[in-house]
Amino acid sequence: MMKSLVENFSKQLSDAIAIGTKARLTEPAGQISNVLICGLGGSGIGGSIVSELVVANANVPINVTKGYFIPAYVNENTLVIVSSYSGNTEETLNCMELAAGRNAKIVAVTSGGRMLEIAKEKNYDHIVVPGGMPPRACLGYSLTQLFFILGHFKIITNNFQKELENAVRLIDAEESNIIAEARSIAEKLKDRTPVIYATTYYEGIAIRLRQQLNENSKVLCWHQIIPEMNHNELVGWTQKNDNLSVLIFVDKDEYSRNLARIDINKEVIKKYTSHITEIYSKGTTAIEKAIYFIHLGDWVSVILGELRGADLMEINVINHLKSALSKI
């Protein structure tokens, strides 16, 4: 099932665009001065990615929280977007309740559950996406709605829709190449620990790959960000370890100083592992590049899971955690 969901990613994006264009959102009582996106896991990573993609475009600060609580600044001038695919994520439901207590403008993105019930009871704006799938396989739905919400409240310009549509065409045109590249990358990761590096505004993309490798491939890995890791982690490369396989996301239009850093990092790291792979962006806009990276990374996680003989759908430990928490 997970493989077919990844195969249908472009269709999901197209469906999500149709849902977003039909969304009916009300106007806030006052001027929006900041935005808070609340969500965890597959529902929360969209907030991380979108907040980075629009940083040069958004006219107010956008923050993301992935826990039970909201910042002190949240008030009646805050747009709070709560995203929970199941509608039952307890941390996000708690944030929703706290935001209501601050008279924030609330918009919910969910497929149902308690979140949708509350949104209907309290007359909060909400966008309903199709349910019945693993949240990590529905990033196309949640991420797209964030753009439409930010666009509706004029936090960003409306260019995003055309860019999303172009991204759909890009991954459709590149699908066979994406799968081939993903297989090559997955084979380099088999029986090794992935180390993921990206530059500042691609951290959400790096986290997405890390999470997909955790859940689909059933492996541990880590990520760090350039240039920050040049001030700490790079010093940790002091011992030969060919059990590590380094992946570096590279935007072909990246700031020249970061491209130089990537080259210097490779010179240092290749002394300690021979497994270094650069993953280059495709597309002309930030949204197109992000969608390309996401889809490629999802394919890497699926193919690596198959190579390892993993059950791509199984998340027993998460279910155990939720069951244990429900008894407390």
Are residues 141 and 197 part of one domain? no
In a domain, 316, yes or no: no
Domain end point (choices 127, 158, 189): 158
Q: Give the model confidence (pLDDT) of 99-126 as tens digits.
A: 999 999 999 999 999 999 999 999 999 9
Clarify whether 52 is annotated catalytic: no
Residue 132 belongs to a domain with what CATH number?
3.40.50.10490
What pLDDT score does 213 carry?
98
What pLDDT score does 188 carry?
97
Are residues 133 and 222 part of one domain? no
Catalytic choice (22, 121, 231, 267): 231
Are residues 143 and 7 part of one domain? yes
In a domain, 315, yes or no: no
Q: Give the model confidence (pLDDT) of 302-321 as tens digits.
A: 999 999 999 999 999 999 99
What pLDDT score does 320 carry?
93
The total of structural domains in the chain comes to: 2
Domain end point (choices 120, 141, 158): 158
- Cα distance between residue 90 and residue 321, in whole Å: 12
Token readout for 326 is: 């429900």
Catalytic choice (122, 190, 270, 322): 322
Clarify whether 288 is annotated catalytic: no
Query: Above pLDDT 70, what percent of the chain?
Result: 100
What's the whole-number mean pLDDT along residues 26-42?
A: 96
Q: Is 133 helix (H, G, I), strand (E, B) or coil?
A: coil
What pLDDT score does 223 carry?
98
What's the whole-number mean pLDDT along residues 25-49?
A: 97
- Cα distance between residue 232 and residue 74, in whole Å: 33
How high does pLDDT run on average in the chain?
97
What pLDDT score does 110 carry?
98
Are residues 130 and 167 part of one domain? no
- Side by side, the strands of the sheet bearing 276-280 are 222-226, 193-199, 244-250, 276-280
Q: Give the model confidence (pLDDT) of 179-235 as tens digits.
A: 999 999 999 999 999 999 999 999 999 999 999 999 999 999 999 999 999 999 999
Catalytic choice (215, 254, 289, 295): 215
Backbone angles phi, psi at 39, to 5 degrees: 175, 160
pTM: 0.97
In a domain, 319, yes or no: no
Residue 304's nearest CA partner among 248, 251, 245, 250 is 245
In a domain, 326, yes or no: no
What pLDDT score does 138 carry?
97
In a domain, 321, yes or no: no
Are residues 123 and 243 part of one domain? no
Clarify whether 174 is annotated catalytic: no
- Cα distance between residue 281 and residue 291, in whole Å: 10
Are residues 151 and 16 part of one domain? yes
What pLDDT score does 315 carry?
94
Q: Give the model confidence (pLDDT) of 229-286 as tens digits.
A: 999 999 999 999 999 999 999 998 999 999 999 999 999 999 999 999 999 999 999 9
Are residues 213 and 120 part of one domain? no
What pLDDT score does 235 carry?
98
Q: Give the model confidence (pLDDT) of 160-184 as tens digits.
A: 999 999 999 999 999 999 999 999 9
In a domain, 324, yes or no: no
What pLDDT score does 218 carry?
98
Alpha helices in the chain (DSSP H): 2-7, 9-22, 41-53, 90-101, 113-122, 139-152, 160-189, 203-212, 256-269, 286-307, 316-326
- Cα distance between residue 26 and residue 152, in whole Å: 9
Token readout for 152 is: 């509706």
What pLDDT score does 107 carry?
98
Range of the domain at 12: 2-158
Token readout for 284 is: 């002309």
Residues 6 or more apart whose CB falls under 8 angstroms from that of 33 comprise: 60, 77, 78
